[in-house]
Amino acid sequence: MALPKLSPSSQTSAVILTSTGSIATTGNGAANTSHYPFGIYADSTSALFDANFVSGASDQVAFTYKKLGGDILDVELTVGNIYASYEEAALEYSYQINIHQAKNVLSDLLGMSTGTFDHDGQMTGGDASGSSVNLSFPRFEFGYAKRVTDGVAVAAGAGGNQTMYSASFNTVALTQDYDLQTIISGASANNLDAATSGSVPFAGLVGNKKVRIERVFYRTPQSMWRFYGYYGGLNVVGNLNYYGQFSDDTTFEIIPSWHNKLQAMAYEDHMWTRLSHFSYEIHNNKLRIFPIPDGHVKSFWVQFSIDTDGWTEDSDRKHGVDGINNMNTLPFDNVPYQNINAIGKQWIRNYALALSKEVLGQVRGKFGSIPIPGESVTLNASDLLSQAKDEQSALKEELKTVLDEMTYKALAEKDAAMIAAIDTVQQEIPMLIYQG
Amino acid sequence: MSNEWNQPSAPPPPLFLGKKERDLVKQVNDELIERVIGQTIAYYPIDIERTNFHDLYGEALAKTFLPPVRVNALIEFDGITTKYSSNIGLDKESSITIHFHKRRLTEDQDLYVREGDFVLYGDILYEIVTLSEPKQLFGQIDHKLEISAKCIRAREGLFDGS
């Protein structure tokens, strides 16, 4: 008697990976957003929704099925696991690319517009919103260097981004000490300069804040008039004093403007330090004038800045204090799927496969061994987990290495090395002697 | 003082080893037993309704059986032992132990193992003489993993499967 054929179907809801995915919006389809933890690329309501991502996720099922031998033995994964791994891989790739680009451009973007971000990392507001900054090749702006230069310039009294104010006060005969904090904060509070009685641009700004005195002077210097005026004209070298180009028997040398300017500065310095009638000292808030004023000079001026917190933005203009300060505030969204090229797409596939292996390893490894009738069996969980870990590490390391070799700085160094190498080669080429 | 604690009507489900875990075990067992190892027997359930038992001894020379069912199971072949009986001569005994996957058997094949039924393993018919359920699943009393059946070779004339 022949044996009967009987292959009963299992009544248990077994979890077996199907050989292919689909792009359906329901059930096991890759467009069904319930399969994705974040749905950044697969949710049709998301700004980064991409039908190509859905197709890619669907194809990834067949790729994983084949790579894990699903056509021979069961793979205890759902298509949802594969879709989720694919999304994670795309986001990991986006993360790595954004990190790389941050290394490239952060110094140039410091102080520029940042924005606000939602839970997916997508920009929801800010001047840079929607501008895909992470996909741009920005101008070289020396953001950090400029900021340092501003600070140095302020300290050197040579410009910078800090407002300099001046205030004046009248001297009192035989009074040597003057409280500058009282004078300046009073002018600020009353919007009234102590000497000129005019309004002041620093009204309401001082209070008890520290003011930093940069210069004290008692009269508008006439040095520029002396230098540029009278006979001596621009671009003319004389003896720096009283004759100009119309003097007799003099040879004039034509010089560039910057040379003339430097001479003017030297001259002005000479006027300030050697011709002034007064000198001063400042101790705490007190300005002490030497010698004791006798009333001959009516007013003194102080040029000052108001110390503010480094993170306080001016009300009338922006210095970028509220802008990009480090990697965290870079206006970088997730990289759109459509802007990932073939190199990235293959990386995503391989990384998603490694992630799927990890999930499968977790499933198969929940128990040390699985009981079977009369025995127990140990599955390949540890192999899968170690493979998954190694593959993920290798993929990330490879990507990081390649990207680090392609930072703008590295590219410049390579170009320089190549030029140097070409130079060396050129030096070895014999110079031919031509006979005419 | 009111009773702040109410005893639940049923104990809570297992925290770490619930239905999903049990289903995974079944899935792995099904695959392993049927697609990897692939040992099969034909199970001959005796039709109690239609077999004419002896009223006193409960034996029947001619047994009626239901259509045999192919079953995948893990089978331990205990070998063939030669035994000498005085005044009779040599006798060869053969026995096997069949480890049935209980859930597959009861849930998917609607089959129940009983003493006295016969199985065909290879080309030899065996009679089930002893049954046991030696293993729980994750130590849960309600979930037995296997049915172990000790079988001995059916002597000629006892049952021939025809």
DSSP class per residue in A62-115: HHHHHHTTTTTS-----HHHHHHHHHHHHHHHHHHHHHHHHHHHHHHHTTS---
Chain A residues in contact with B35 (beta carbon < 8 A) = 73
Count CA within 13 A, CB hemisphere, residue A110: 14
Q: Return the sign of the alpha-carbon dihedral for residues B30, B36, B37, B40.
A: positive
d(CA A358, CA A350): 13
pLDDT at residue B4 in the model: 74
- Candidates B19, B20, B24, B132: best to mutate against A (most CBs of A within 10 A) is B24
The token pair at A284 is 């705490």
Q: Provide the strand spans (E) within A221-283.
A: 279-283
The pTM of the full predicted model, rounded to 2 decimals, is 0.76
Q: What percent of chain A has pLDDT over 90?
A: 58
Residue A253 reports pLDDT greater than 90: no
Q: Which residue of B has its CA nearest to A378?
A: B28
Which of A237-251, A279-293, A310-324 is modeled with the greatest confidence? A279-293
Assign B125 to helix, strand or coil: strand
- Candidates B15, B19, B23, B27: best to mutate against A (most CBs of A within 10 A) is B27
Q: What are phi and psi of A382, to 5 degrees?
A: -65, -35
Band of pLDDT at residue A189, cut at 50, 70 and 90: very high
**pLDDT tens, residue by residue, B36-58:** 888 999 999 998 888 888 888 87
Residue B156 reports pLDDT greater than 70: yes
Q: What are phi and psi of B11, to 5 degrees?
A: -65, 150
d(CA A399, CA A376): 41
- State the average pLDDT over residues A151-175: 88
Q: Which residue of A has its CA nearest to B28?
A: A370
Assign B144 to helix, strand or coil: strand
Q: Which residue of B has its CA nearest to A13?
A: B23
Length of chain B: 162
**Which single residue is written with the structure tokens 């759902």?**
A78
d(CA B159, CA B151): 14
Given CB atoms, is B72 within the 8 Å cutoff of chain A?
no
Q: Determine whether the interchain pair B32/A377 forms a contact, defined as Cβ–Cβ distance below 8 Å.
A: yes
Give contacts of B 25-54 with A, CB under 8 A. 25-33, 35-36, 40, 42
Q: Determine whether the interchain pair A5/B26 forms a contact, defined as Cβ–Cβ distance below 8 Å.
A: no
**Which single residue is written with the structure tokens 């002896």?**
B54
Chain A residues in contact with B70 (beta carbon < 8 A) = 3-6
Instruction: Work out the number of other CB atoms within 10 angstroms of the CB of residue A56.
Output: 26
Return the axis-axis angle of helices A342-364 and A51-67, rounded to nearest 10°: 50
d(CA A42, CA A55): 10
DSSP bridge pairs for A217: A301
Band of pLDDT at residue A3, cut at 50, 70 and 90: very low
Given CB atoms, is B108 within the 8 Å cutoff of chain A?
yes
Residue A76 reports pLDDT greater than 90: yes
Q: How far is A15 from chain B (nearest CA, A)?
A: 8
Lowest mean pLDDT among A8-17, A90-99, A242-251, A423-432: A242-251
Radius of gyration of chain B (CA): 21
Q: Which residue of A has its CA nearest to B146?
A: A373
pLDDT at residue B2 in the model: 65
Q: How far is B126 from chain A (nearest CA, A)?
A: 15
- Candidates B23, B28, B35, B125: best to mutate against A (most CBs of A within 10 A) is B28
Residue A244 reports pLDDT greater than 70: no
Return the axis-axis angle of helices A79-109 and A408-428, rounded to nearest 10°: 70
**Which single residue is written with the structure tokens 């009073």?**
A186
- Please give the mean pLDDT across all residues of chain B: 88
Q: Which residue of A has its CA nearest to B106?
A: A11
Given CB atoms, is B103 within the 8 Å cutoff of chain A?
yes
pLDDT at residue A5 in the model: 47
List of residues 6+ apart from A143 with CB closer than 8 A = A106, A107, A108, A109, A110, A111, A112, A320, A324
- Which of B40, B74, B97 lies nearest to residue A372, judging by beta carbons? B74
Instruction: Work out the number of other CB atoms within 10 angstroms of the CB of residue A305.
Output: 18
**pLDDT tens, residue by residue, B56-99:** 887 887 888 888 999 999 999 988 888 888 888 888 889 999 99
Q: Which residue of A has its CA nearest to B32?
A: A372
Band of pLDDT at residue A243, cut at 50, 70 and 90: very low
Give contacts of A 338-367 with B, CB under 8 A. 363, 366-367
Q: Determine whether the interchain pair A374/B74 forms a contact, defined as Cβ–Cβ distance below 8 Å.
A: yes
Given CB atoms, is B162 within the 8 Å cutoff of chain A?
yes
- Please give the mean pLDDT across all residues of chain A: 87
Q: What percent of chain A has pLDDT over 70?
A: 89
List of residues 6+ apart from A406 with CB closer than 8 A = A100
Given CB atoms, is B93 within the 8 Å cutoff of chain A?
no
Assign A332 to helix, strand or coil: coil
Nearest-10 Cα torsion for A224, A230, A232, A235:
70
Bond into A291 cis (ω within 30): yes
d(CA A296, CA A170): 11
List of residues 6+ apart from A363 with CB closer than 8 A = A76, A77, A381, B24
